[in-house]
Amino acid sequence: MKRKVEPSNFSYSVRTIKGISQVLEDMTTSLKEAGFGVIETLDFKEILHKKGLALGGEYKLLEVCNPNAAREVLESSPEIGLLLPCTIAVYEKNGENWISLAKPTSLLSLSGSPKFFDMGLEIEEKLVNAIQKAK
């Protein structure tokens, strides 16, 4: 059965009262407890500043990975690796701080494979729980 992705389902976002630095620290801890590691943290405010462009608020993008899930995906279908790693943004918007996840179910549904969608569902649940714990 083919599943349809709705654009409104692309991300999961929550507001937090914590500062950006504290959220990043707490996200790293909760992700580790869930079996994920932070591969890299991109600081878009800094990146754009180096290009001579201003960004009004902080915007950090965490590239996160569960090594076992990544290996399974890559061994099954190397092309699906284009949808890796999972991304979580920590940013300022209208004076508030937010955490957003690009939902693995939305991304992996692009493969058309129920197997990958189901894997995405499991990964997404763990990431949402990690976000809830860190927020």
DSSP 51-63: TT---SS-EEEEE
pLDDT tens-digit readout, 66-77:
999 999 989 998
User: For residue 111, what pLDDT is reported?
Assistant: 85
Strand intervals (E) in the chain: 11-16, 37-43, 59-65, 86-93, 96-102
Compute the mean pLDDT over every residue in the chain, rounded to the nearest whole number: 92
Determine the pLDDT at residue 1: 44
Q: Looking at residue 35, what is its pLDDT?
A: 96
Query: Angle, nearest 10°, between helix axes 114-134 and 20-33?
Result: 130
Both tokens assigned to 123? 């990964």
Cα end-to-end span (Å), the chain: 35
pLDDT for res 3: 46
Token duo for residue 75: 């061994």
pLDDT recorded at residue 109 = 85
Segments of the chain scoring below 50 in pLDDT: 1-7
Q: Read off the amino acid at residue 133.
A: K
Report the CATH fold assignment for 11-134. Answer: TATA-Binding Protein (3.30.310)
For the chain, what are the domain ranges? 11-134
Q: What is the pTM of this model?
A: 0.90
- pLDDT at position 15 is 97
Instruction: Report the distance separating Cα 106 and Cα 125, nearest Å.
Output: 13
Burial 63-88, CB ≥16 within 10 A → b, else e: ebbbeebbeebeeeeeebeebbbbbb
Residue 8: predicted pLDDT: 54
pLDDT of residue 93: 94
